[in-house]
Amino acid sequence: MYKHLTIFIAAVIFALLLAGNANAGYSVVHLNTTVILNTSNTAQVNEVLTVYVSNYSVKQYETDRDALNLSLSTWQGLIGPELTQHILNSHSGVYGFKFLPGPLVPTDYGGGYANLYMTYYVKGVQLSDRVAPRVIRYTFNDSVFNFGHSLSGEYLYPNTTLTIIPPSGAKIVSIYPLPDSPSTGFSDNYKNVTEFSWYDQEPLSKFTFQYDLDTSLGFEINEFLYNTYNSKSLPIYLAIVIIVVVVLGVLLALRKLR
């Protein structure tokens, strides 16, 4: 009960902040954050912030949109605190950042809606560990979340969707809280499910997303050579490479003879 009350109070405070920003003519309507996980423990993040632009701020928005030299911080001053990166590693920051304010779609009653697009990459979004031969387990690093903060921990803002897309072939090991979408699939560990979404005000303080991924033989060989190179001297490394090449050559020759 106390936990939900704390989140509710934090949500009210956030709404008041948005209301305070409304006199500038912009109101945040919805946030969509999509995290595309990679096997390198990095992630591509795509975010879409939908805002309502009041009638008297339409010209200002269109002027600002045409001014390509406006920085993200300038737009943050116009839109409010929600225009920020919501997946963020404090140790490495983000890279490959791109920001694009979309066109204004007018409404019949004045003003209009616009989407603000952000895309960027983040390191250290997950941790990896080998749990079996040719099987790597990936664990999402929930410290990268940068949504709402309350006494009980991190939570999604109201009118927010968080979507996580694991690599192809991922086998879910553990997931909490259960995703809002898909609403079914828990009994078979979400077999063949390719993306998971959580909605408005979902608590993230105990967030868990863990999956296994089978690796190829080529990946195993490359990893072995990489580790050998970093732990042995160069002559030993070259000798191992030659042996591997010779063995592969023999195997290919035997296959052709068959």
pLDDT tens string for the chain (258 positions)?
444 444 444 444 444 444 444 435 899 999 999 999 999 999 999 999 999 999 989 999 999 998 877 888 889 988 888 899 999 998 888 999 999 999 999 999 889 999 999 999 999 999 999 988 889 999 999 999 999 988 888 999 999 999 999 999 999 999 999 999 998 887 788 888 999 999 998 999 999 999 999 986 555 555 555 455 556 566 766 776 677 777 777 767 777 776
Cα 166 from Cα 161, distance rounded (Å) = 16
Angle between helices 217-231 and 234-257 (to 10 degrees): 160
pLDDT at 11: 43
pLDDT at 238: 72
Give residue limits of the domains in the chain: 2-214, 217-257
pLDDT at 7: 43
CB 76 within 8 A of CB 84: yes
pTM (predicted TM-score) = 0.75
Cα 110 from Cα 118, distance rounded (Å) = 26
- The two tokens of residue 149 are 């903060």
Cα 237 from Cα 129, distance rounded (Å) = 24
On whether the 2-214 domain is CATH 2.60.40, my answer is yes
pLDDT at 207: 96
